[in-house]
Amino acid sequence: MEYTNIIIITKKFSFILFFFSIFYACFELQTSMSGPGLACDPSNSVTRSLPFCKTNLPIQVRVRDLIGRLTLQEKIRLLVNNAAPVERLGIRRYEWWNEALHGVSNVGPGTRFGGAFPGATSFPQVITSAAAFNSSLWEAIGRVVSDEARAMYNGGAAGLTFWSPNVNVLRDPRWGRSQETPGEDPHVVAQYAVSYVKGLQGGANPNNHLKLAACCKHYTAYDLDDWKGIDRYHYNARVSAQDLEDTYNVPFKACVEEGKVASVMCSYNQVNGKPTCADPNLLRGIIRGQWHLNGYIVSDCDSVGVMFEQQHFTETPEDTVAATIKAGLDLDCGPYLAVYTEKAVRTGKLSEGDVNNALSNTLTVQMRLGLFDGAQQPYGYLGPKDVCSPAHQQLALQAAREGIVLLKNTGRSLPLSPQRHRTVAVIGPNSDVTVTMIGNYAGVPCGYTTPLHGIGRYAKTVHQPGCSGVACTSNQNFGLAEIAARHSDATVLVMGLDQSIEREAKDRVSLLLPGLQQELVARVARASKGPTILVLMSGGPVDVTFAKDDPKISAILWAGYPGQAGGAAIADVLFGTVNPGGRLPMTWYPENYVQKVGMTNMEMRAGGGYPGRTYRFYKGPVVFPFGAGMSYSNFKQSLAHAPTTLSVPLLATTANTTTRLGDEIKVAHTNCDSLNLELHVDVKNAGEMDGTHTVMLFSAPPRLANNMAHPERQLVAFEKVYVMAGAQKRVRLNVNACKHLSLVDQFGVRRIPMGEHSLHIGDDLKHSLSLQTSLEQIKV
């Protein structure tokens, strides 16, 4: 999400847009707050007695009172991200746009660093944290980020509405924003969304109050930015009802229903010919009607303007504004609603009641945040001491450690020994980077530990970048790198990508290492007298088949973009202070996959020569599979408890319309609350080093007569457990048949197949679960 500067201004409206853009830019130069509280200052004798300022009244009553006091022009100026002040009511201006993807960010104009807040804790990029497969970690990160954001808000340096997280499923490995997502599995992405949102918003609050207001984005089927001349502003994602229900919308549904998120952001692209921000079915029908969002819907930045200027969705800007608000949009990140809404109302394209409905949703969230409570701020104790605290920075290090994935370890080359490997050659364009480690949508970190500095804590280092950057266009310095490797006890090559290769508005066209990186790795490996370890920084997957097959390359680590403490975490794993336990949250495809499959094909399922997407449907060869990850220990799993049958009761009103026993039951035709089951798995650490292990439970459905093109298998539960060497722990996995064992038919209807479901734990442990229709019906 960014201000795009892409709007092509027509002559008719050029003056007003030019004037507004200057006005808008002036707002961006200022902080979103000058102190706690947006309104209802107790020293203001005019407003303190008004109903909208009375905290003992229900929020809906307060909102209704405030809206009734606003003029149409005042209302309209509150419909955009840089909401204007209403001075006669003591309401300050407010900047809605703040970002906190993996730490408080200064991408949006609502947040600034400096003075008492020179930086904030920068956690690993989301794809790296996702590799930890640790939902409690994800929520803990959210809590820390919310503490730091509230502290900055109290100091006038940030707002309270943060447009994070990104919960789009990683469909295509070339997507430049792969780094921002929790990976390719809908269940993992959904669980990440729920955990992080709970952390940001303060968890369950009986008073409906919010610590921060999170936002799940970008709804929906958005995962193409700019690929071979096709950009997100013009792209029409053609998505089947089946794929929408069982892949693209899964995380958003969980975010709203389970995470209770306060906001959803609609995306730039069209879905099946209609812009998402103007689709009443997607917004009012699904987000509000089916999922019951308690919050507001915001557009991606400038997407309302894009809808008219680029997509030519309507004949006039007023028609565009009317279409979006009527569809369910409440807030525009951009100027369009502020510029064109009044004329849309005056010409009858939109009613003031429509404006009131939108405003009601945004004001409700602001009141839940306490912005209309005056000085009564429940988190007012947070301040500069709570930003970049030692505990917060330690959590950033822990997250980086947990997210690092060991993909190859020939002959137990790792961990290195400080006694045997006293001199280490540290080579590669990412070997001493700082900003690269924090990825995109980052802020100013508390500090950096680069890989070179981290390794330097364990051994003497000899540093040779080899290339001047990840583009690696020259081999002029390869010889120096070879010399360093030849005279060192071990060699660590830190290679991969950065934001010049993959980012928002820049998709990749190849999965190979850029430029001459592969040549550098191969030459250094041949020259190295000791073990050669390849460390990769990247958001998306990289085809490193050459390194996987090269016996001279002893080990491969993937670190993603590991955040401010990334270098320390990498070194801790290399030298065995930490036992790696990360798992890949996405499939690593070979290069020929992307040569055969265009990014614009949104189909998930394989068929007709099309190989399919993600581990759930892809049937071809891989470099590394989803869930890959090794350890320095040897973990053994055994099934301690699992049911063998589960009865699925029918609702009495639907029993006659349901097909015979042995077929599928619509999820809507049973009582999902009664279909919970629990599996117990014992995990034994048979190795010599303490470590973490992720238990991953997959389900394979029975073969169906109606051929729903179901996944070969899909992840239904996971749990991370720490086990000391020689010890054993029991893990409990919870499964709900409606949520985890159902499939989606071609009409987008979720059904539970009866028959034998095969549950897989790892590669070797399997268990059969029989689902049977219950003859005892449920009364409605």
Contact call for residues 375 and 42 (beta carbons, < 8 A)? yes
- Nearest 5 degrees, angle CA 94-CA 95-CA 96? 110
Answer whether residue 539 shows pLDDT above 90: yes
Which two three-digit tokens encode residue 236?
A: 């029409």
Query: Which region, left, alpha or beta, applies to residue 455 given φ > 0 means left and ψ of -120 to 50 means alpha?
Result: alpha
| Angle, alpha carbons 213-216-221 (nearest 5°) | 165
At residue 9 the predicted structure's pLDDT band, cuts being 50, 70 and 90, is very low
Tell me, what's the pLDDT at 21?
40
DSSP-derived 3-state class of residue 525? helix
Rounded Cα distance between 158 and 160, Å, is: 7
pLDDT at 22 over 50: no
CB 754 within 8 A of CB 665: yes
The pLDDT confidence band at residue 121, using thresholds 50, 70 and 90, is very high
Question: Could you give the C-alpha distances from 648 to 554, 644, 662, 756, in angstroms and in order?
Answer: 51, 13, 11, 13
Q: How far is residue 538's CA from residue 258's CA, in Å, rounded to a whole number?
A: 31
pLDDT for 1: 52
Q: Is residue 2 scored above 90 in pLDDT?
A: no
User: Cα–Cα distances in Å, from 235 out to 230, 439, 745?
Assistant: 7, 25, 26
The proportion of the chain whose per-residue pLDDT surpasses 90, expressed as a percent, equals: 88
* pLDDT at residue 616, rounded to an integer: 97
Q: What is the 3-state secondary structure (H, E, C) of 690-705?
A: CEEEEEEEEEECCCCC
Which pair of structure tokens corresponds to residue 250? 């899964």
- Alpha-carbon span 41 to 34, nearest angstrom: 13
**Range with the poorest average pLDDT among 138-147, 205-214, 423-432, 697-706:** 697-706
What DSSP state is assigned to residue 288? I
The predicted model gives 331-356 an average pLDDT of 98
Write the CA distances from 426 to 404, 412, 423, 455, 485, integer angstroms.
18, 20, 10, 8, 8
Residue 763 makes CB contacts below 8 A (sequence gap 6+) with none
Specify the pTM. Answer: 0.95
Dist CA 66 CA 327 (whole Å):
24
Q: Which of 768, 772, 630 is nearest to 699 (CA)?
A: 768
Among residues 499, 545, 492, 538, the alpha carbon closest in space to that of 518 is found at 545
Which segments of 84-175 are extended strands (E)? Answer: 94-95
Kindly report the average pLDDT of the chain as a whole number: 93
| d(C-alpha 174, C-alpha 507), whole Å | 6
> What DSSP string runs through 372-423?
TSTT--TTTT--GGGSS-HHHHHHHHHHHHHH-EEEEEGGG-PSP-TTT--E
Q: Give me the phi and psi of 596, to 5 degrees please.
A: -100, -20
Which residues lie closer than 8 Å to 419 by C-beta, 6 or more apart? Answer: none
pLDDT confidence of residue 708: 62
Give the per-residue SS3 of 462-501.
Answer: EEECCCCCCCCCCCCCHHHHHHHHHCCCEEEEEEECCCCC
Q: Give the integer Cα–Cα distance in Å for 130 and 567.
A: 18
Torsion of CA 584, 585, 589, 591, to 10 degrees: -90
Tokens of 407: 């993909």
Does 597 have pLDDT greater than 90? yes
pLDDT at position 8 is 34
Q: For residue 770, report the phi and psi dihedrals to the nearest 5 degrees.
A: -100, 120
What pLDDT shows up at residue 478? 98
- Is pLDDT above 60 for 26? no
Q: Comparing C-alpha atoms, which of 760, 527, 777 is closest to residue 665? A: 777
Supply the angle between the helices 478-486 and 517-527 in degrees, to the nearest 10.
Answer: 30
In this predicted model, what pLDDT tens digit does every residue of 306-318 receive, in sequence order?
A: 999 999 999 999 9
Q: How far apart are CA 513 and CA 519, in angstroms?
A: 10
Given pLDDT bands bounded at 50, 70 and 90, which one contains residue 762? confident
**Of 445, 401, 399, nearest to 196 (Cα)?**
399
What is the predicted pLDDT for the residue at 449? 98
pLDDT of residue 704: 66
pLDDT one-digit tens code per residue, 601-637? 999 999 989 999 999 999 899 999 999 999 999 999 9
**Four-residue CA torsion sign, 365, 371, 372, 373:** positive
Structure tokens at 760: 């897989």
Percent of the chain's residues with pLDDT above 70: 92
CA distance 344 to 408: 61
Confidence at residue 778, expressed as pLDDT on a 0 to 100 scale: 52
Q: Would you say residue 3 has pLDDT above 60?
A: no
**What number of helices (H) and strands (E) belong to the chain?**
22, 27
- With 0-12 / 13-18 / 19 or more C-beta atoms within 10 angstroms meaning exposed / middle / buried, residue 486 is middle
Question: CA–CA separation, 743 vs 663, rounded Å?
Answer: 12
Inform me whether the pLDDT recorded for 70 exceeds 60: yes
| CA pair distance 50, 66, nearest whole angstrom | 9
Is there a contact between 181 and 169 (Cβ–Cβ < 8 Å)? yes
What pLDDT is attached to residue 663?
A: 82
639 has which bridge partners? 681
3-state secondary structure of 129: helix
Residue with tokens 């794809």, as numbered in its chain: 127
For residue 723, list its beta bridge partners: 691
Q: Which residue has the tokens 């960014």?
A: 2
pLDDT of residue 661: 42
Active-site positions read 300
* Contact (Cβ atoms closer than 8 angstroms) between residue 351 and residue 72: no
- Residue-wise pLDDT for 122-133, tens only, equals 999 999 999 999
Indicate the pLDDT class of residue 135, thresholds 50, 70 and 90. very high
With 90 as the cut, is the pLDDT of residue 352 above it? yes
Confidence category of residue 591, pLDDT binned at 50, 70, 90: very high
CB of 331 closer than 8 Å to CB of 96? yes
Q: Which of 95, 96, 75 is nearest to 86 (CA)?
A: 75
Average of per-residue pLDDT across 267-290: 98
Q: Which residues contact 704 (CB under 8 A, 6 or more apart)?
A: 664, 710, 743, 753
Q: What is the pLDDT of residue 334?
A: 98
| C-beta separation of 2 from 226 below 8 A | no
Question: Which residues lie across from 645 on neighbouring strands?
Answer: 770
pLDDT digits (tens, 9 = 90+) for 230-262: 999 999 999 999 999 999 999 999 999 999 999
Burial 611-627 (b: 16+ CB within 10 A, else e): ebbbbbbbeeebbbebb
- φ and ψ at 561, to 5 degrees? -115, 100
Lowest mean pLDDT, pick from 18-27, 360-369, 586-595: 18-27
Task: Give tens-digit pLDDT for 424-472.
Answer: 999 999 999 999 999 999 999 999 999 999 999 999 999 999 999 999 9
Strand partners, 114: 117
Within 8 A by CB and 6+ apart from 321, the residues are: 304, 336, 337, 340, 341, 344, 349, 350
Side-chain half-sphere of 349: how many Cα atoms within 13 Å? Answer: 19
| pLDDT of 366 | 98
Query: For 648-701, what is each residue's pLDDT tens digit?
Result: 999 876 655 544 445 899 999 999 999 999 999 999 999 999 999 999 999 999
How sure is the predictor about 497, in pLDDT bands with cuts at 50, 70 and 90?
very high
Is residue 299 within 8 Å of residue 163, measured between CB atoms? no
Mean pLDDT of 727-756: 96
The span from the CA of 171 to the CA of 381, in Å, is 43
Place of tokens 């690593």: 588
Higher-confidence residue of 774 and 673: namely 673
CA-based nearest residue to 559, from 716, 400, 718:
400
3-state helix, strand, coil in the chain (%, to 5): 30, 20, 50
**What's the N-to-C CA distance of the chain in angstroms?**
45
Q: What is the pLDDT of residues 564-580, one digit of tens each?
A: 999 999 999 999 999 99
Question: Is the separation of the CB atoms in 691 and 583 below 8 Å?
Answer: no
**Does the pLDDT value for residue 211 go beyond 80?**
yes
pLDDT-wise least confident of 18-22, 247-251, 423-427, 538-542:
18-22
Matching residue, tokens 């991408």: 107
Is residue 548 within 8 Å of residue 410, measured between CB atoms? no
Q: Which amino acid is at 505?
A: A
